[in-house]
């Protein structure tokens, strides 16, 4: 059979009337899915090649149509009662003559006599080729998601598939094709090949079709048979939803500058009783010398922690940029309304006892939301631990937080502990610029804050701990813009078992929630972390060191085994051991012990001393092929290396340190971290961090140049 070349996609208006006609018939029949002939009419209308369709009402019709289109043919039952045709015996393949068609069609009419049969679809039997599957499912958070993979055993058993959130461009389509393990089969093998150009055009047409028609809930083209010249869609299934849930796509990027850098702060629920949360929050603001004017609000106090108190907000003769509310849940709606009446622009609701506790809490939260909408006020929380901005000396945390350094890391967290206990520990080895806890996300959410951090000059690296995502399409759009400028690392918890998902189509069965999260993060340039340690290990690397300009690494170690571990992980992470130039090799040999043979990894075998280490690194800095260093230091003498490392001019080439059992030498580790060297317990993590940094910098060379220069200086 000759396959027509892929045609260009007409405008959506060209097929709108046909779409309305076919979907209207489905609605009239109370169907949420389209019959295969209907699906193929829609596909062909936008230039997608199919095996065709002609519906026979009788056995003799089927014989006549078969003779007209030419043998061999395929028969498929057409019935609104039969969705999964193959599983129920409603498909007969490779019928070679009139007698075979007559027998098969007679059997079908008999087998499905109790169903509402509209006829039998007669189609040309497609010639063999390379089978692929194309599908779309609508994720409740991210909207339509395109799936692609090889068909047959590759999708059924090996799950060799990939996804993209729609819409996509040609670059994303190229990446999809190359991501699957079976890509070499598409490129060509043993004389077989696929028309990749027409396949890409098909994927673009499907993307356009689904974005043009939001009523498409799920779509399966399975199989699509690809040839050296063109393709044909053999089977198609489309599910429609008459109640379309809109996905927020329009960017709503509020200017939150005064939220993070307020001139005045009122604390509603401030306390003079040590141990209460209202005492903790106000103590943090005072202790860190917050740059904003502070107004504690408490009807029972004249003075709170040495600061004049006010019985109500109305008594404050000043405009208020931010009000922090930390009163019992029952009193919170009234407190929020008082803030709104005062003209407060932003409210941080640290009170708990809302949607996280059940239906009653949800109703109270909705009540607050109505008040905010009425007055046009923005709010963070409830059930959060506020915002920390070290560049404004502002600490709103409900947990006591000791001294913090001014840092370049931004952290968005859906848990208050990141602004309290976790921060209390991490402050020794990491300096944060902004920590924003978002709680129940009644109003201000992770995307709003991500947008601000992306534009805040004090922030170079962003971390996110999220349990869910609000307005997924907007999140992807904003994240794509931010990651062009700043590395963004996410830890997403609350992973959902795909088996719990209601499934109608093959595509949906393959698209578990967490797979969609994965592709959303990758598509928007976000680096996904496995756990807290991984997230903060990567953040420390990006925040403290410049990005490698080559993938060559010089490994320096005092023990061979850890040098081997570093080497293995480098190559598994698509990095490599760098090659020193001949003159540099000669210089390195002059300072190495005679028994050291390998020049990368350089193994000092327990004889490494600080001066030799410094000279070795300085030689590597001069090499054009060395872009970074992994240095494994002896824990027992760790402090002896500090002074020499501090003097090294590494000229924009990052140095990652590995200290085995570092938890037993934390004083020395902290001193090295304060000098700007990330210290890891194992060389594998150091190698992985370098790999992520190199990938990020390599994909964003022009956009990242300003940050690179800033870090190098």
* CATH code of residue 167: 3.30.470.20
Q: Distance between CA 193 and CA 681 in Å, rounded?
A: 48
> What's the pLDDT tens digit per position in 305-338?
999 999 999 999 999 999 999 999 999 999 999 9
- Is the pLDDT at 19 greater than 80? The verdict is yes
pTM: 0.87
| pLDDT-based confidence at residue 360 (cuts at 50, 70, 90) | confident
Would residue 72 count as lying in a domain?
Answer: yes
Would residue 301 count as lying in a domain?
Answer: no
Domain endpoint, select from 193, 219, 240? 240
Residue 289's region, left for phi above 0, alpha for psi from -120 to 50, else beta, is left
Verify that 639 and 553 share a domain, yes or no.
Answer: yes
Instruction: Specify the range with the lowest mean pLDDT, choosing from 7-16, 59-68, 408-417.
Output: 7-16
What count of other Cβ atoms lies within 10 Å of the Cβ of residue 646?
Answer: 13
Domain endpoint, select from 240, 266, 287? 240
Would residue 285 count as lying in a domain?
Answer: no
> What's the pLDDT tens digit per position in 230-270?
999 999 999 998 665 554 444 455 789 999 999 999 999 99
Q: What is the pLDDT of residue 191?
A: 67
Would residue 102 count as lying in a domain?
Answer: yes
Counting Cβ atoms within 10 Å, is residue 111 exposed (0-12), middle (13-18) or buried (19+)? middle
What count of other Cβ atoms lies within 10 Å of the Cβ of residue 572?
Answer: 12
**CATH number assigned to the domain comprising residue 111:** 3.30.1490.20
Verify that 661 and 558 share a domain, yes or no.
Answer: yes
Q: What is the pLDDT of residue 84?
A: 78
> What's the pLDDT tens digit per position in 329-350?
999 999 999 999 999 999 999 9
User: With pLDDT > 70 as the criterion, what percentage of the chain qualifies?
Assistant: 91
440 vs 358 pLDDT, higher one: 440
Q: What is the pLDDT of residue 127?
A: 93
Verify that 136 and 110 share a domain, yes or no.
Answer: no
- Mean pLDDT of the 100-119 span: 93
Which helix (H) or strand (E) covers residue 258, if one does?
Answer: helix 257-260
> What's the pLDDT tens digit per position in 611-667?
999 999 999 999 999 999 999 999 999 999 999 999 999 889 999 999 999 999 999
Query: What rounded mean pLDDT belongs to the chain?
Result: 89
Verify that 107 and 154 share a domain, yes or no.
Answer: no
Say how many residues make up the chain: 713
Instruction: Give the tokens for residue 265.
Output: 């702060």
How many folded domains does the chain comprise?
A: 3
CA distances to 422, 449, 540 from 388, in Å:
13, 13, 18
Verify that 558 and 652 share a domain, yes or no.
Answer: yes
Q: What is the pLDDT of residue 509?
A: 46
Q: What is the pLDDT of residue 501?
A: 41
Would residue 447 count as lying in a domain?
Answer: no
- Mean pLDDT of the 500-529 span: 69
Task: Work out whether strand 130-139 and strand 143-150 pair parallel, antiparallel, or are unpaired.
Answer: antiparallel
Verify that 159 and 228 share a domain, yes or no.
Answer: yes
Judge contact between 518 and 528, C-beta under 8 A. Answer: yes
Counting Cβ atoms within 10 Å, is residue 461 exposed (0-12), middle (13-18) or buried (19+)? buried
- Is the pLDDT at 506 greater than 60? The verdict is no
Verify that 705 and 561 share a domain, yes or no.
Answer: yes
Verify that 97 and 227 share a domain, yes or no.
Answer: no
| pLDDT-based confidence at residue 505 (cuts at 50, 70, 90) | very low
Domain endpoint, select from 101, 124, 147? 124
Place of tokens 């295969």: 36
Angle at 553 between CA 552 and CA 557, to 5 degrees: 160
Instruction: Specify the range with the lowest mean pLDDT, choosing from 68-77, 591-600, 671-680.
Output: 591-600
Instruction: Give the tokens for residue 314.
Output: 């109305």
Verify that 670 and 601 share a domain, yes or no.
Answer: yes
Tell me the H-state helices in 605-674: 610-621, 642-646, 666-674
Would residue 460 count as lying in a domain?
Answer: no
Q: What is the pLDDT of residue 188?
A: 79
Work out the widest C-alpha separation in the chain, in whole angstroms: 100
Verify that 186 and 60 share a domain, yes or no.
Answer: no
Q: Domain of 184? A: 130-240
Buried b (16+ CB within 10 A) or exposed e, 162-181: bbbbbebeeebbeebbebbe
**CATH number assigned to the domain comprising residue 561:** 3.40.50.261
Verify that 111 and 144 share a domain, yes or no.
Answer: no
Q: What is the pLDDT of residue 709?
A: 53
Verify that 562 and 674 share a domain, yes or no.
Answer: yes
Would residue 373 count as lying in a domain?
Answer: no
Would residue 320 count as lying in a domain?
Answer: no
């Amino acid at each position: 059979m000759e396959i027509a070349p892929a045609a260009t996609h007409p405008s959506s208006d060209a097929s709108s009337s046909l779409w309305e006609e076919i979907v209207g018939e489905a609605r009239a029949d109370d169907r949420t899915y389209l019959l295969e002939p209907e699906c193929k009419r829609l596909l062909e209308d936008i230039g997608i090649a199919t095996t065709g369709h002609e519906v026979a009402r009788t056995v003799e019709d089927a014989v006549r149509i078969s003779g007209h289109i030419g043998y061999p043919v395929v028969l498929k039952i057409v019935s609104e009662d039969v969705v999964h045709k193959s599983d129920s015996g409603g498909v007969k393949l490779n019928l070679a003559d009139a007698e075979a068609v007559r027998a098969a069609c007679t059997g079908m009419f008999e087998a499905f006599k109790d169903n509402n049969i509209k006829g039998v679809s007669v189609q040309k039997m497609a010639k063999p080729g390379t089978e692929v599957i194309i599908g779309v499912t609508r994720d409740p958070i991210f909207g339509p998601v395109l799936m692609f993979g090889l068909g047959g055993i590759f999708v059924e058993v090996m799950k060799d598939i990939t996804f993209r959130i729609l819409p996509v461009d040609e670059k994303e389509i190229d990446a999809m094709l190359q991501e699957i393990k079976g890509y070499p089969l598409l490129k060509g093998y043993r004389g077989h090949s696929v028309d990749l150009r027409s396949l890409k055009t098909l994927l673009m047409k499907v993307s356009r079709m689904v974005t043009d028609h939001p009523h498409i809930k799920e779509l399966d083209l399975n199989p699509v048979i690809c040839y050296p010249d063109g393709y044909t869609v053999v089977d198609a299934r489309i599910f429609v939803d008459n109640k379309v849930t809109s996905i927020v796509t329009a960017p709503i990027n509020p200017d939150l500058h005064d939220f993070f850098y307020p001139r005045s702060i009122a604390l509603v629920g401030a306390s003079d009783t040590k141990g209460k949360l209202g005492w903790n929050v106000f103590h943090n603001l005072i202790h860190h010398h917050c740059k904003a004017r502070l107004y504690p609000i408490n009807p029972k106090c004249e003075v709170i922690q040495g600061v004049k108190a006010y019985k109500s907000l109305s008594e404050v003769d000043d405009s208020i940029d931010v009000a922090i509310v930390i009163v019992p849940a029952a009193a919170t709606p009234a407190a929020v309304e008082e803030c709104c009446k005062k003209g407060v622009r932003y409210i941080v609701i640290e009170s708990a006892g809302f949607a996280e506790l059940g239906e009653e809490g949800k109703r109270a939260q909705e009540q607050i939301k109505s008040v905010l909408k009425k007055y046009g006020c923005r709010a963070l929380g409830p059930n959060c631990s506020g915002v920390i901005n070290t560049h404004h000396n502002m600490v709103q945390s409900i947990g006591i937080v000791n001294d913090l350094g001014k840092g370049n890391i931004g952290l968005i967290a859906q848990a208050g502990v990141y602004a309290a206990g976790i921060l209390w520990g991490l402050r020794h080895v990491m300096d944060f610029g902004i920590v924003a806890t978002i709680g129940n996300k009644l109003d201000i959410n992770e995307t709003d804050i991500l947008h601000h951090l992306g534009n805040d000059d004090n922030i170079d690296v962003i971390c996110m701990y999220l349990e869910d995502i609000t307005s997924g399409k907007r999140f992807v759009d904003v994240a794509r813009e931010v990651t062009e400028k700043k590395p963004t690392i996410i830890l997403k918890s609350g992973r959902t078992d795909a088996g719990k998902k209601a499934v109608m189509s093959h595509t949906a069965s393959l698209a578990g929630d967490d797979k969609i999260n994965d592709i959303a993060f990758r598509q928007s340039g976000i680096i996904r972390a496995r756990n807290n340690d991984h997230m903060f290990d990567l953040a420390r690397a990006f925040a403290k060191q410049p990005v490698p300009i080559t993938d060559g690494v010089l490994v320096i170690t005092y023990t061979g085994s850890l040098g081997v571990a570093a080497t293995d992980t480098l190559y598994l992470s698509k990095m490599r051991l760098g090659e020193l130039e001949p003159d540099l090799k000669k210089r390195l040999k002059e300072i190495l012990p005679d028994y050291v043979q390998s020049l990368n990894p350089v193994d000092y075998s327990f004889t490494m001393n600080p001066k030799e280490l410094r000279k070795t690194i300085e030689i590597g800095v001069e090499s054009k092929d060395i872009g970074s260093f992994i240095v494994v230091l002896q824990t027992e003498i760790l402090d002896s290396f500090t002074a020499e490392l501090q003097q090294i001019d590494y000229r924009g080439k990052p140095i990652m340190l590995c200290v085995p059992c570092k938890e037993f030498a934390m004083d020395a580790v902290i001193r090295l971290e304060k000098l700007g060297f990330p210290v890891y317990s194992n060389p594998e993590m150091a190698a992985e961090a370098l790999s992520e940094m190199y990938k990020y910098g390599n994909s964003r060379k022009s956009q990242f140049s300003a940050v690179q220069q800033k870090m190098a200086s």
